[in-house]
Each structure stands twice: as structure tokens, then as C-alpha cells.
Structure 1
């Protein structure tokens, strides 16, 4: 089966083939269950095969730290330090983890190093680009974009709205690195305002300053989400079978206001609403009086069935989620001329053979690099001749080639 793109942005027209963002060499030190490990990478796809608990997801997490953020597990930096069985000692400088990589990035071949700062008392991450210390991890976005699907996301449509907001914000962040700063600033201002309410502070000037920040930043966050949802809907509408087309919508008071009025008018309305809600009963971000983008939800529908995602079967939900992630990757390829590095952890779960084969072809058609994990090597048979197969066993890596690949199942 030849690799054909399953989705395009209808507004983009003809675009040149994207560059390939790829990891060429990955080295881990004191990372999760790895004392040290190095992997030379060649090709568009890496399959990490091995039993549960061997360290496959840990490798994906290491790659995710090549981009800004907290990685695919959203872990505290000290939680990533290698834990020796039976050793309950707290993290120290001697246990600080590090990841080094040689990549083909947006700006060409680059060496990236990152890890927990062994000298810092708190949670501080260090980043080096070609051996030079970076001012912040935000610079990583200039070199590489990483996107992922994990088993924890399988319940995205069933669990609470906070997880869907985080999912959408991560998608927005890939196009707008300042979005994360706005979201963090908004949440910080909320906490400060709630503290004033909780402490019974009556100084209106303090509230006004925070509410000015909340109004301006909150509307910017909501507008950025809405802009990406509109673009994703255009791409998702062109999604080809066997992945169902998805329709996305933002469900929140501020989101509805933005559909009815200019952003500046919405800022004024939100600012007035906040000023009217300065009372203890409205102190929590989840209270009815606390309007803002922190209360928004991402609603997804299965277009062919005209059914909310949460009412679809497990397999249909997984197919919808895969389609959205691939649509987002396609948008990045169009916008930046480079598809993201995709990390697909146990992605074959809940997908039938037809959808699984279509997913593999769609991923390769993006023109980027994909890292996939699984306990059953046989499910990757459709791309066995195009993937680098790596056996993962108890924090050790070994090339597996393709001998005995088809139909072989690992234990665990």
C-alpha cells in the first residue's frame, strides 16, 4: 500500500513536500529505568517492541522533552530521575536525569541537551543548543515540534473538561508558543484573585489590576483556541475513511461571547462580570460566578453518525482522536513546512486491522518521523520494511531488524 495523505487543509492549496523533523541520535542518562542508553536512528519510523514495563514509554517521554513543556506524562522533573529498586532516597545532584539528541530540526542539524538542573533546589530544567546554554526551554520550539498519543488519552471524551482543555491548549501551543505563557499567566492571576477573596481583602485597586489581566489574557486564550478549532474543522472535514470526520466546537460563556461581539467588547464584558463576582462564593475557578476560558469545554462530534464523541464506541473514539491528531500534524506540515515528530504509544489498541494499517500509512505520508510502541510486533507488519525495529527489555535496547517480525508476539 502506498502512503497517501488522508487529510489536507482545503485553504492551503498546493504546498511543497515538508521537511522531515527527525531524531538521529538519542542518549539517556539516569532517565526513569535507564541508567544510560544510546540509540542511533535511521528512517521515518521507529518501532519500540517489548513487554509491559520494559521502558518503551520512557523512551517516548525522553523524545517529548526535546520540545518545550513537561513531557507526555506531565511529570515533575524530579520524578523522572532514575529510581533504583529499594532506594527511597530523595533526588540529588547525582541522580539528575539528562537527555541528549542530535536532530534534523527546523533550522537544520542541531544538538539538543536537556535535563533537571542538578544544582537547583527546586524544579528547574536546563537546555543547551549546540552546547550553548539557552535562556529558557521555549527556544526548543524553534527547532522541533513533537506531538503524541498515549493510552491515557483514550478517555479524553469520557473524562472531565480539564483534560480536553489541556489537549486543545497543547495543539494551540504547537502553532503559537506564547499561548502557554498566556494560559499560565491567566491561571496565576486567577489564583491571586481567589486568594484576595479568600482573605477578605477589600482593596478594589488590587482586584481591578488582576481582573484587567484576566480579561485581556482570557479573551486572547479563548480567541487562539477558536482560531485553531476553525482550522482543524476544515481539515477534519476532508478526513478520509477509515477515520471518521470529526467536528469540534468550544462550549463556554466566553466562547459564545466571542461569536457575538468583537474581542475588545468581550474583554469589557468579562471584566465587568469579574468585578460583580468579588465574593467568597465565587472564589473557586470552578464556581458558577467564575466565568472565563478555564470553564470552556471542547465538544467533539462523530460527523458520519452525527453523534457526540462520548456516546461513540471505544474504537470510534480512538479513531476520532487519531483523526484529530493527524489533522493537526498536517496543519503543522502546511504552516511550517515540517511535520512534527509523532509519538504513538500503544496506538494499535482499540483499532481494527483496517484502521491500524491506514494509520501507519497516514503517519508515513506526513513526511515526518514517527515513534511507535507495542507489545505485539506483529501489528506493525504493514510497515516492517520501512521501520527501524528496536527491542526494549528492562531498560536495555537492541536492534531487532525484521527477522521473525511478521506475526511474532512478545510476552507481556
Structure 2
């Protein structure tokens, strides 16, 4: 797959931009702050419906404009398609496929496949579990678009359940009766209402959790292979899914922040029988996971009522990254951290390749200001890997950051536009 044209209207720094692209390597070169990353960010939006830089849609719309439009034409084998995303801060984003009628934004998922590397990916290794959960879920919704609905269902139920727990906690501390009097005729209690929400949460959560476990299983061999490609291969990289449903995740600083109080002293994943991919959940079906989920919610209910927060579920899980036997977080060097983050993205690229159903379906590779952060050896190794892709888009501040192994076309980016002196570069010109 490759993108042949990209059009932006009021997206970030661009009032209007039309850019023609071609297969192979293309390098977007320009000083920092001119808008190179905005271009690749727009393409990533069409693939995952989210930005790799910000969590809100507001910064994506040019200041003073009401909405932004991202439109791109893709070639997938012998087929061509046009996708359009309308970004409406404060309202639902909308999409169009092949200039048809307006559809939900999530109906675009799965059509355009991109894998984007960026400096922000260091948070996959060094950051909170939320970054790693997002990595898994974004990849899942590209591979299995219907899971976007499952994620939305889970988030909706979780929000409602947390609101109930929070109100019950507030009532307890204010010495007021919760929700309704337990002894009143027909009165619904907090406990009985929680039972209903537990069932809904377990159903949606089990579907999401089962999909994550399968994905981690698929990523494993590719992660180790990609890390070896980027390094001397002296260390083995692997990932272990830690689930709060089987007790493999204790309270963390991230969760305590959500709850609004100090964290527990136990901040590392629990050891013991939960070790391995998914621990005791490995190999279970969705219904069996839902049963385990309900049992875990029941066991945690008293603590949840005390804290006013849902303490069990995929929203609290983690993907633990290991180099050899040691956690990458805190033990990996700066170079190893970069290599691990790149290996995760390469592993997702290889999983997408495995998932390709038709010729020409391989994803587009995007490297946003990555080469500047790598030493010469890692630059050469990465370039040798990505140059094999049908299309690879790279951003760089200067030509010297691009290894000669990459070659390809150079596009000069200036503030809000493409420079007129844009020209192809021969292999090795960088």
C-alpha cells in the first residue's frame, strides 16, 4: 500500500496543502517547527484516528478555524481509495470513503494501514502502562476494526461504574445513605446496581482482553527478531502481558493518580503464577475470561467502594517489556530503549504483513525525526530494514541525518508549504 496524494485544509499549520507522493522512500526535510511532523501526523490520523502527539483534537485544527479536513488517496494493489476525515473539536469526527456519504470516523479503520515511529515512542518503554495499552489497542483496531466498538462499550461502562463508585464513596464519607435505602421497598442498592455494571464490564472487557492476549502472542517472535535486527543480538527482547484480572498488577502510581490519593507501596507487577503471556488467562476463551473477570470484581469490591474507582480490568493492565530477565524500564540504556521502542513498531509492521490478505496490502512506514536520535550503526541497521517497504516516509531537520542506505526523493518543507525546489535524490546523496 502507498499514499499517492495528501490534501490538508486547516490542519495544524496548513491552511491548504496538496502533496503528491510516490512509492519508495520519501524524505521530508526542513527546519524544526516548519510543519514536517504535521504531514505525517495527518496520515497517522487516517489510520488510527488519533494523534501520536496530543490526546485532544483541539490542537489539530488551525487556530481560528472551526474544523480540519484530512484527505488522502491510497493505492492498494490494483485498487484505489480516497479517505477523508473531518476533525470537529468538541463534536464527533466524521469520515468519507471514496467521496461517498458521511460515516462515523471509526468506519475508516482498517482501510489505511500505517506504522509510525516517533520520538514519543520512548514512552512505550519508559512511560506509564497507559502508553503500552494504547499501543496494543491502536494496533488491534487497525487489524480488527470492530474492536473499536468494543473499546467504546468498555469505556462507556467503565465511566458509569466509576461514577457509581465515586458517589457511593462520597455518600459514605458524608454519612448519607448511598443511592437508595437498602431496606426500602423496591429500592436499588449500590451493591445490586454494581452487579449489573459488573456484568456489562466483564463482557466487554473479556472481549478486549482476549484480543490483547492473542496480539501479544503474535507480537512476541517479531519483537525478538526486530530487536536483534537493530542491535548485535546479544540480548533477547520479549513482552509479558500483566492482567489485573488474574492479580498480576498491583496498585501503581498511575492508578493512584486517577484515584486522587497516594499510591500503594506495591508498584511492580506481581510475581508468581501469573507470569507468562496473560498468566492464568492464557488459552482461555472470552466466556471463561468473563467469568474470571466477574470473580475478580467481586473480590475487589470492598476496596473499590473505599477508593471510588474500578480496580480490575483492561484499563489497569500492563505490557511488561523485558531485555533478557530484566525489565527494560529502568534497566535499559538510552540506546537500548530506542532500539526496544523501534522493535515494538517493527513488530507491529510484521504482524500487519502476516495479516495482509491481498497483494500490495503492506502498511506504510513513517519515521518522524527518528534518525537524528540514533548513532550511525543503528541508523544503518534501521535504514536497511525500512527501505524494503513499499513506501516509507521520513522527516528530518537536515539531509545529514538520513543514512545513505535510504536514498529516495527529497521534499523541502517550509512554513505552511512545500518549497518549489523539491527534487528527487539519487541513492547515497544524503
TM-score norm. by structure 2 comes to 0.78
Q: Root-mean-square deviation (CA), in Å?
A: 2.5
- Contact 1:379/1:407 (8 A) holds in 2: no
Matches for 1:91-102 after TM superposition, within 5 Å: 91-92=65-66, 96-102=67-73
Are residue 335 (structure 1) and residue 355 (structure 2) matched? yes
Structure 1 gaps, min length 5: 1-20, 84-88
Equivalent residue, structure 2, for 1:10 = none
Equivalent residue, structure 1, for 2:25 = 45
- Contact 1:77/1:125 (8 A) holds in 2: no
Equivalent residue, structure 2, for 1:6 = none
Equivalent residue, structure 2, for 1:232 = 219
- Distance in 1, Cα, partners of 2:290 & 2:401: 51
- Distance in 1, Cα, partners of 2:196 & 2:351: 37
- Distance in 1, Cα, partners of 2:111 & 2:315: 30
Matches for 1:314-333 after TM superposition, within 5 Å: 314-333=334-353
Equivalent residue, structure 2, for 1:246 = 237
Structure 2 gaps, min length 5: 169-178, 180-188, 246-277
Are residue 358 (structure 1) and residue 377 (structure 2) matched? no
Work out which of the residue numbers 112, 119, 123 in structure 2 matches 1:155.
123
- Contact 1:343/1:371 (8 A) holds in 2: yes
3-state SS of paired residue (1:144): coil
Matches for 1:132-151 after TM superposition, within 5 Å: 132-151=100-119
- Distance in 2, Cα, partners of 1:186 & 1:227: 18
1:336 and 1:69, CA in 2 relative to 1: closer, same or farther beyond 3 A? same
Q: CA deviation at 1:263?
A: 4.4
- Contact 1:55/1:393 (8 A) holds in 2: yes
Q: State the aligned residue count.
A: 368
Q: CA deviation at 1:242?
A: 3.3
The range that moved more, 207-216 or 175-184, is 175-184
Are residue 373 (structure 1) and residue 373 (structure 2) matched? no
The range that moved more, 136-145 or 328-337, is 136-145
Per-residue Cα deviation, 1:153-178 (whole angstroms, up to 9, x for no partner): 21322221111111122222222222
Equivalent residue, structure 2, for 1:73 = 53
Per-residue Cα deviation, 1:121-163 (whole angstroms, up to 9, x for no partner): 8322221222112422233234211221221121322221111
Q: CA deviation at 1:329?
A: 0.7
- Contact 2:110/2:144 (8 A) holds in 1: no
- Contact 2:94/2:105 (8 A) holds in 1: yes
TM-score norm. by structure 1 comes to 0.81
Larger relative contact order (CA 8 Å, sep ≥ 6)? 1
- Distance in 1, Cα, partners of 2:110 & 2:127: 33
3-state SS of paired residue (1:183): helix
- Distance in 2, Cα, partners of 1:198 & 1:397: 52
Are residue 169 (structure 1) and residue 137 (structure 2) matched? yes
